[in-house]
């Protein structure tokens, strides 16, 4: 049985034979993720969920992950569509932070310590002992600790972004003592990332810029790029209805994302303080909608301005995006591709972005954005769209993004990554065992 706070699905009663798997090219994959991919309601979860979906089309996948939002547990049954088996463990609010503080005091990486769990380690070891996996896919460097010492199975790490650089950017925008803490974490993680690149068969990041940065820190090891995916058809504005509340806010510009994430908090506050007053001095009817889960206290306080609407968590972000006149991405701290940019383009909504956020995109998508950095540049770009509309039509924005994904063929890219450095499928029969009943 699963322990308190943990849940899983039972192993199925039957499995494909070795001959079937060989004929179909099917692999057994253990997918280890720092947060449950479902529901895919934030950037990192959207990427992990797409990978899970894509792998499940051809391979047998077992999923092991944490969850920290109690609401995520309610959707656990949805994972049965994609996994032979899943195991979810509640990330302890108290112990995760206690371990992080302890690591900080000991001069170790607190990011990795935050996701350290004996129960998780025991379940991953049990899975690998009981089943014959052909590949282990680890999502996030924080979870690599659980299989770092495993050498008998090819391991692929999706690092997504170079987190050590993120902490360095935090340090540059913080005062002492936080600047000292963040800079030390950047150094600790940079050394760890280099070690992981050497130890894993392949390490994947989401952009060419991230790959170049990681290679500068980790010159030994294979580093590949797998871009973020977005289903453009899901954002077709013709199929999305707007609530009366959303219509009452128009015209508005939108900033979306998890609003307890420091770079998003910094960007939203910067826009409210520095840019929005300039826009409203010319177009006083303009509103600013901040749409995203878990608004930080400093974000909630912005809602005292009647021109600013704070949505908090919403069941579906698409109507909020499609109702906007423009999307703003005034990121001053940015790592990897901002999914908020892709979502806006998929909805045919013009985007005004900082150079920091735009630079992660390939040139064919970057050219679709209005790039601005100073408050006056940002205000001018947004005001021009509000007055005259975008220079690029909604249809053209959506079409360009759709063609981009069609040309990428990310499914084939992922298949090649999984087969790269693969091992021959084992002839011996596997051992089937249950990891606990649904909780």
Per domain, the residue ranges of the chain are 6-14+23-230+408-419, 232-401
For residues 335 and 42, which has the higher predicted lDDT (pLDDT)? 42
- Residue 251, pLDDT score: 96
Q: How far is CA 383 from the centre of its chain?
A: 31
- Residue 334, pLDDT score: 79
Mean pLDDT within 197-225: 95
Mean pLDDT within 431-437: 32
Mean pLDDT within 257-277: 95
**H-helix segments, 36-134:** 43-56, 70-73, 93-105, 110-114, 118-130
- Residue 43, pLDDT score: 84
Residue 19 class from Cβ within 10 Å (0-12 exposed, 13-18 middle, 19+ buried)? exposed
Mean pLDDT within 264-284: 97
Q: pLDDT tier at 374 (50, 70, 90 boundaries)?
A: very high
Mean pLDDT within 270-274: 97
Residues above pLDDT 70, as percent of the chain: 90
For residues 67 and 6, which has the higher predicted lDDT (pLDDT)? 67
Residue 56 pLDDT greater than 90, yes or no = yes
**392/373 Cα distance (integer angstroms):** 21
Give the least confident one: 18-22, 119-123, 229-233: 18-22
- Residue 41, pLDDT score: 86
- Residue 18, pLDDT score: 58
- Residue 424, pLDDT score: 33
Q: Are 212 and 205 in contact (CB under 8 A)?
A: no
CATH 3.40.50.2000 given to domain 6-14+23-230+408-419: yes
pLDDT in tens, 173-194: 889 999 999 999 999 999 999 9
Q: In CATH, which superfamily holds the domain spanning 232-401? A: Glycogen Phosphorylase B; (3.40.50.2000)
pLDDT in tens, 6-23: 666 654 434 555 556 555
Mean pLDDT within 304-322: 95
Q: pLDDT tier at 426 (50, 70, 90 boundaries)?
A: very low
**32/194 Cα distance (integer angstroms):** 20
- Residue 13, pLDDT score: 38
- Residue 429, pLDDT score: 27
**87/79 Cα distance (integer angstroms):** 10
Residue 379 pLDDT greater than 80, yes or no = yes
For residues 250 and 334, which has the higher predicted lDDT (pLDDT)? 250
For residues 70 and 399, which has the higher predicted lDDT (pLDDT)? 399
Mean pLDDT within 353-363: 93
**305/73 Cα distance (integer angstroms):** 35
Mean pLDDT within 34-62: 94
Mean pLDDT within 75-89: 95
Residues facing 157 on adjacent strands: 138, 203
- Residue 436, pLDDT score: 34
- Residue 425, pLDDT score: 35
Residue 166 pLDDT greater than 50, yes or no = yes
What the block records as the tokens of 13 is 């009663």
- Residue 163, pLDDT score: 94
For residues 312 and 42, which has the higher predicted lDDT (pLDDT)? 312
**195/200 Cα distance (integer angstroms):** 9
Q: β-pairing, 85-90 with 202-205?
A: unpaired
For residues 17 and 68, which has the higher predicted lDDT (pLDDT)? 68
What the block records as the tokens of 84 is 């032979």
Closest CA relative to residue 321, chosen from 294, 348, 295? 348
How much is the mean pLDDT over the chain?
90
**366/371 Cα distance (integer angstroms):** 9
- Residue 430, pLDDT score: 27
Contacts made by residues 359-362, CB under 8 angstroms, sequence distance 24+: 359/209, 359/334, 360/206, 360/207, 360/209, 360/210, 360/334, 360/335, 360/336, 361/207, 361/337, 362/208, 362/227, 362/404
Q: Name residues whose C-beta falls within 8 Å of residue 62's C-beta, 6 or more positions apart in sequence.
A: 28, 29, 30, 31, 83, 84, 85, 86, 87, 127, 131, 133
Q: Name residues whose C-beta falls within 8 Å of residue 389's C-beta, 6 or more positions apart in sequence.
A: 350
Q: Are 328 and 311 in contact (CB under 8 A)?
A: no
Helix, strand or coil, per DSSP, at residue 325 = coil
- Residue 25, pLDDT score: 72
Q: pLDDT tier at 439 (50, 70, 90 boundaries)?
A: very low
Mean pLDDT within 271-277: 97
For residues 126 and 42, which has the higher predicted lDDT (pLDDT)? 126
**21/370 Cα distance (integer angstroms):** 49
Closest CA relative to residue 344, chosen from 383, 390, 410? 390
Q: Name residues whose C-beta falls within 8 Å of residue 219's C-beta, 6 or more positions apart in sequence.
A: none
Residue 412 pLDDT greater than 60, yes or no = yes
The region that residue 423 occupies, defined by phi over 0 for left and psi between -120 and 50 for alpha, beta otherwise, is: beta
């Amino acid at each position: 049985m699963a322990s308190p706070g943990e849940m899983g699905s039972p192993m199925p009663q039957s499995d494909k034979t070795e001959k079937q798997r060989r004929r179909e090219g099917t692999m057994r994959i253990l997918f280890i993720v720092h947060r449950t991919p479902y529901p895919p309601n934030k950037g990192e979860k959207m990427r992990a969920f797409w990978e899970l979906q894509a792998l499940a089309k051809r391979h047998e996948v077992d999923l092991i992950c944490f969850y920290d939002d109690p609401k995520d547990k309610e959707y656990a049954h949805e994972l049965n569509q994609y996994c032979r088996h899943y195991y979810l463990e509640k990330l302890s609010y108290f112990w995760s932070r206690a371990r992080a503080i302890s690591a900080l005091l000991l001069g170790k990486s607190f990011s990795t310590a935050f996701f350290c769990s004996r129960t998780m380690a025991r379940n991953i070891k049990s899975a690998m002992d009981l089943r014959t996996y052909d590949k282990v896919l680890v999502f996030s460097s924080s979870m690599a600790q659980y299989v770092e010492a495993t050498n008998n199975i090819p391991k692929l790490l999706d690092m997504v972004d170079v987190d050590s650089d993120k902490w360095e950017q935090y340090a540059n925008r913080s005062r002492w003592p936080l600047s000292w803490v963040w800079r030390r974490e950047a150094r600790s993680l940079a050394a760890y990332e280099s070690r992981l690149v050497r130890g894993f068969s392949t390490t994947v990041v989401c952009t060419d810029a991230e790959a170049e940065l990681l290679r500068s820190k980790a010159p030994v090891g294979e580093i590949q790029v797998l871009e973020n995916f977005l289903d453009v058809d899901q954002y077709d504005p013709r199929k999305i209805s707007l609530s009366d509340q959303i219509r009452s806010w128009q015209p508005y510009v939108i900033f979306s994302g998890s609003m307890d994430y420091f770079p998003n908090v910094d960007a939203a506050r910067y826009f409210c303080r520095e840019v929005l007053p300039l826009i409203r001095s010319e177009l006083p009817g303009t509103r600013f909608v901040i749409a995203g889960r878990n608004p930080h206290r400093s974000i909630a306080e912005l809602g005292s301005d009647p021109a600013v609407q704070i949505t908090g968590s919403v069941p579906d972000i698409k109507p909020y995006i499609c109702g906007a006149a423009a999307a703003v991405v005034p990121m001053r701290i940015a790592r990897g591709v901002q999914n908020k940019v892709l979502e806006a383009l998929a909805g045919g909504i013009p985007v005004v972005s900082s150079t920091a956020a735009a630079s992660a995109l390939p040139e064919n998508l970057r050219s679709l954005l209005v790039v601005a950095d100073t408050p006056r540049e940002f205000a001018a770009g947004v005001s021009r769209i509000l007055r005259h509309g975008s220079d690029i039509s909604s249809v053209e924005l959506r079409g360009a993004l759709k063609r981009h994904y069609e040309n990428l063929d990310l499914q084939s890219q992922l298949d090649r990554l999984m087969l790269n450095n693969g091992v021959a499928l084992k002839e011996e029969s596997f051992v089937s065992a249950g990891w606990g009943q649904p909780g």
